Amino acid sequence: MSHPMAIVAAALEYISAAEELSAQLGYPFLGVVPPSEVIDVPQVLSRGDQLRLCATGRKAAGPVLVDFVGGALAHRRRYGGGKAQPVAKAVGLRSGFYPKILDATAGLGRDAFVLAALGCEIHMLERNPVVFELLRDGLHRLRLAAMEDRELAVIAERMSLLGHCSSAADWLGQQPEESLPVVYLDPMFPPRGKVTKVKKEMVAFHHLVGADEDAAALLAPALTACYYRTVVKRPKLAPYLTEKKPSLSLEGKSGRFDIYTKHGVPG
């Protein structure tokens, strides 16, 4: 039987951890093999210092991982625009008001990290078990780095990954009414048009996650569970989720934020 995914170890010392991951996720373990030399499965999880999702074959794009310490997120933390960023405005963040946020579609945790860096407490949900492991690995490395960096330590304290659940809609539906200050939704949307270089690096991720066909089921329980607002991140030209018009929308560089308000934020 063919598998959509397999597990490999980046070096001999990671074999035990890779075997454990294989047993946990139910994907075969191929041993210490570079992803470029794997030909029988389209993607692998490579267990090394970092957990990496890799497309296979010699012409595959680069790996996908969660990196809260360096790279693009480190640059954005320092130079991203602070509270003036559209995502910050969308959740209602302002001086003296830093809402607790439930990110119900956490993905690779990028927006969650940005909001935590700006002062919000973030609880993340992720239903895909592979993406959940990528997130957990990224948070683990963030907390290791935080032991030597007080600024990262403060951010790490604000971020938590809730236990794996197969349905964010069901999880939201089980929460008491108006118990979550802000709910943030960023469902995967089918790609359109030309594929950019950045998107090519995400081929393995998009292949793994696909489009969130049940995205519409998230909005109603989110609106019931939130107190201040529910924020939905969408591509600029995408229709409203469930065709429900938001209270207002904010446009960013590559998309927009549809905001469904219930109670006014303090200010």
Condensed to tens digits (0 to 9), the pLDDT of residues 50-102 reads: 999 998 988 887 889 999 998 878 767 776 667 888 999 999 999 889 999 99
CB 207 within 8 A of CB 225: no
Task: Kindly report the average pLDDT of the chain as a whole number.
Answer: 89
pLDDT at 61: 79
pLDDT at 203: 63
- Residue 126 is labelled as binding a ligand: yes
Q: 248-251 and 226-235: which strand pairing?
A: unpaired
Burial of 176 (0-12, 13-18, 19+ CB in 10 A): exposed
Q: Which residue has the tokens 């302002």?
A: 94
Q: Is the pTM of this model over 0.85?
A: yes
CB 62 within 8 A of CB 203: no
How many CA within 13 A on the CB side of residue 245?
1
- Residue 212 is labelled as binding a ligand: no
- Indicate whether 191 pLDDT > 60: no
**Residue length, the chain?**
267
pLDDT at 68: 94
The 3-class secondary structure across 54-91, one letter per residue, is EECCCCCCCCECCCCCCHHHHHHHHHCCHHHCHHHHHH
- The DSSP output letter for 26 is T
pLDDT at 197: 46
pLDDT at 39: 87
Please, which pLDDT band fits residue 198 given cuts at 50, 70 and 90? very low
- Residue 111 is labelled as binding a ligand: yes
* Of 124 and 255, more confident: 124
pLDDT at 244: 94
- Residue 110 is labelled as binding a ligand: yes
d(CA 252, CA 254): 6
Rounded to an integer, the average pLDDT of 103-123 is 95
- The DSSP output letter for 156 is H
